[in-house]
Amino acid sequence: MAEELLITVSEFETRVAKLAGGAVQELHLAPASGYSLTGNVYIGKVERIIQGMQAAFVDVGLERPGFLHVRDIEGPRLMQAENGDTADSPDIRDLLHEGQRLMVQVAKDPISGKGARLTTQLAIASRYMVLMPFTDHIGISQRIEDEAERGRLKALIDEVRQEQGIGMGFIARTAVEGADREAIELDLRVLTRIWDKVLEKKAGAACPDVVYEELPLHIRVVRDLTDPNVETIRIDHRDTYERVRRFVDEFIPEFSERMRYYDEERQLFQRFGIDDEISRALDRRVSLKSGGHLVIEQTEAMITIDVNTGGFLGNKSLEETVFRTNMEAAAVIPRQLRLRNLGGIIVVDFIDMEEEEHQRQVLRTLEKAAEADPSRMRIEGFSSLGLVQMSRKRTRESLIQQICEPCAQCGGVGFVKTPESTCLEVFRAIVEDARVRCKGPRQDYLIRSTADVVDRLLEEDAEQLKRLSDQIGREISIQLEPSCQPGDFDIVLVQPMRKPS
């Protein structure tokens, strides 16, 4: 399927979209303040060791200290490999101490108020290879399935590595499939020079300090998202176009002829409908062509996806209607996960199917649609409850977390209290307060709340309000308070009004 890469740049942001068959598959947004921290290498200081979690908090100069677990420390992993023991890890107190200077890399961006996830297992990526400076292992991407090609690459990398006198490990990325010796030699030389510069900067670095920064977004996406299916790379900013063009000419010259400078009057994302797609990706409901729909909910613990037939009635039987809806949903779900950058644990509630063969076909469709996703994904079969459990690697915030913030009215839960429930709370609060103050000097009550609550107290609940006033022997008045949010109210004690003589 033909793919396009669109890069739009302004002085305040950079946005990237990858299209396949005209449909947006992936979005990357970066404000002027920067993109993802994933891949950056820092000199940090161990602030605190948490023995019960076998983890440490490391200050790397970010807003919050990063989190480093014992299994993400290079030493224990190597020791386990040598001993053949993966069950027991060394005590983190034997590896780190507070105040220790440490070189770490960001494995996951800070997400939802949590600090960055850190690792000492450093990895620096280029177009075709990933440098692993603290190992001598040679690995091949699992997405390269041809055994002959895997063998060729491993032998070639090892041969080039020995010729250049490199004693470090490498992982061949998916893009290296079919690459010649010259391309691999160039990649290894570039990565070795980068590592030499990291070591030089480390020697004179303060603590905390950054010693290696990943490429800017417009270069990183060209490096990572270009594959043989990408027919065009469009960029609407002249300076950015020139920088990307130089990178492409040097490292992926086969894409030089596919570069296009976009200088039309209509904005790039508007022309291809990307802005509309972003708006739809913020909606929890996703319509299916058949008339069914998905409901995607993002919570702290997991992502839940509910499949519904909606307005699709079918024309044969209930089982056939359900099967067709589930098949369409299975083909759409991986794209939605990638588009919204949703990761972690994902639970899909497909509509119940009676036939096991239908379940198998839905699962195969889901797996096939997930093959295009560069992020690692694991899909389990149907559970006894008819649920499909999945996981998708997450390294940065989801689209909605990048663009939105929790609602000031509902606190991020998606719901606000009704005027009826708020009025009931008001009544309970007045009853309790009057009970406590029954022996004190008389004071009346003033209720301040939103227009909806005031209207209800004056109309539907007016009779209940009068009975409450008679019950406690105090006057209750009402006042509109524009600053109140739905569900909020204030009850103020006021002096009794003097009756005219």
For residue 371, with 0-12 CB atoms within 10 Å meaning exposed, 13-18 middle and 19 or more buried, which class applies? Answer: exposed
The answer to whether the CB of 103 falls within 8 A of the CB of 123 is no
Alpha helices in 204-317 (DSSP H): 217-225, 238-251, 268-271, 274-281
Q: What is the DSSP letter of 287?
A: E
Instruction: Write down the pLDDT at residue 78.
Output: 43
Which residues lie closer than 8 Å to 205 by C-beta, 6 or more apart? 43, 211
Q: How confident is the model at residue 315 (pLDDT cuts 50, 70, 90)?
A: low
| Banded pLDDT at 83 (limits 50, 70, 90) | very low
Mean pLDDT of 326-338: 95
Question: What mean pLDDT, rounded, does the chain reach?
Answer: 89
Query: DSSP state, 484?
Result: P
pLDDT digits (tens, 9 = 90+) for 177-194: 888 898 899 889 889 999
pLDDT of residue 86: 46
Question: 397: how many CB neighbours lie within 10 A of its CB?
Answer: 18
Question: Minimal CA–CA distance to 52: which of 69, 66, 77?
Answer: 69
167: nearest Cα among 195, 191, 136: 136
CA distances from 394 to 117, 306, 343, 369, 374 (A): 11, 21, 5, 18, 11
Percent of the chain with pLDDT over 90: 62
For the stretch 392-420, pLDDT in tens is: 988 888 899 888 888 877 777 778 899 99
pLDDT category at 500 given cuts 50, 70, 90 is: low
- Say if residues 377 and 390 touch (Cβ distance below 8 Å): yes
Q: What is the pLDDT of residue 77?
A: 47
Is the Cβ–Cβ distance between 308 and 321 less than 8 Å? no
> What is the distance between the alpha carbons of residues 214 and 201, in angstroms, rounded to a whole number?
15
Q: What is the average per-residue pLDDT within 10-31? A: 91
In the block, which residue shows the tokens 């299209």? 19
The verdict on pTM exceeding 0.85 is: no
What is the pLDDT at residue 80?
Answer: 45
Q: How many CB atoms lie within 10 A of CB 157?
A: 26
292-to-23, 282, 326, 387 alpha-carbon distances in Å: 19, 18, 9, 18
- Give the whole-angstrom CA distance, residue 476 versus residue 482: 19
pLDDT at 436 over 50: yes
Nearest alpha-carbon partner for 420 in 473, 395, 388, 457 = 457
Q: Which two tokens stand for residue 346?
A: 């994902």
Q: What is the pLDDT of residues 473-499, one digit of tens each?
A: 899 999 999 989 888 999 999 888 665
Cis amide bond preceding 208, omega within 30: yes
pLDDT mean over 274-280: 92
Across residues 435-451, what is the average pLDDT? 87
Helices (H), ranges, 84-229:
147-163, 181-203, 217-225
What is the residue whose two structure tokens read 């908090």?
57
Instruction: Report residue 448 as tokens.
Output: 């301040």
Tokens standing for residue 285: 């409901």
Average pLDDT for 63-83: 72
| Residue 228 clears pLDDT 90, i.e. is over it | no
User: Which of 209, 217, 222, 224 has its CA nearest to residue 173?
Assistant: 224
Q: What is the pLDDT of residue 498?
A: 63
456: enclosing H helix or E strand: helix 451-458
pLDDT at 321: 86
- The whole-angstrom separation of Cα 378 and Cα 337 is 13
The Cα-based distances of 350 to 291, 383, 393 in angstroms read: 15, 11, 22
pLDDT of residue 419: 93
The reported pLDDT for the residue numbered 158 is 94
Strand (E) or helix (H) holding 432: helix 419-436
pLDDT at 435: 86
**pLDDT of amino acid 263:** 93
φ/ψ (deg, to 5) at 380: -90, 165
Q: Name residue, tokens 């440098």.
A: 131
Strands 129-132 and 124-125: antiparallel
pLDDT tens digits along 86-135:
445 688 888 999 999 999 999 999 887 789 999 999 999 998 999 999 99
**Closest to 359 (Cα-Cα) out of 330, 390, 332:** 330
Q: Where are the beta strands (DSSP E) in 314-376?
A: 344-349
374 conformational bin, left if phi > 0, alpha if psi -120 to 50, beta if neither: alpha
Longest dimension (CA), the chain: 109
Q: What residues contact residue 81 under an 8 Å CB cut-off, 6+ apart?
A: none
Strands, DSSP E only, in 33-87?
41-50, 55-59, 66-69
454: confidence class by pLDDT, cuts 50, 70, 90: very high
